[in-house]
A = this chain, B = another copy of it.
Amino acid sequence: MKSYLETDDYGRKKAINPCLEPCSIEKGMRMIGGKWTGSIIYHLKDGPVRFNDLSRMLGGASKKMVDQRLKELESNGMVIRKVISDRPVAVTYELTPFGQSALECLDKLREWSESNQL
């Protein structure tokens, strides 16, 4: 579905297939474009990471942020939370295959970002 414009007999323009609501780009962005979301996924790329370790790596993000984002990512199937021991409670977060599938986009983004010295 591509959107384009049509002009009627009176010269009035009208969009055909407008993005009434989020098109695929928009939907994708809402999935991985939240504040710190991409960074979190990216930091999980090499395997499971524990909550506090993740927080430490994302020094600019508060625990609340990290927690919130992880919950979002879990609820949309990109991340799994695993309790690796109660009593000392220990938890890890890791990417699901779906989560891993997003790494390709993120890596492109990183490349683009770095090559433009953002």
Contacts and interface: CB of A to CB of B under 8 A. Distances in A.
A63 to B, nearest CB: 14
Chain A interface bracket (under 10, 10 to 19, 20 to 34, 35 or more): 35 or more
Interface string A54-95: 001111110000000000000000000000000000000000
Contacts of A102: 112
A37 B25 CA distance: 9
Q: In the assembly, how many copies of this chain are there?
A: 2
Contacts of A42: 23, 25
A44 interface: no
Contact of A3 (B27, B43, B114): B43
A23 to B, nearest CB: 6
Contacts of A105: 105, 108-109, 112
A36 interface: yes
Contacts of A57: 3-5, 15, 18-19
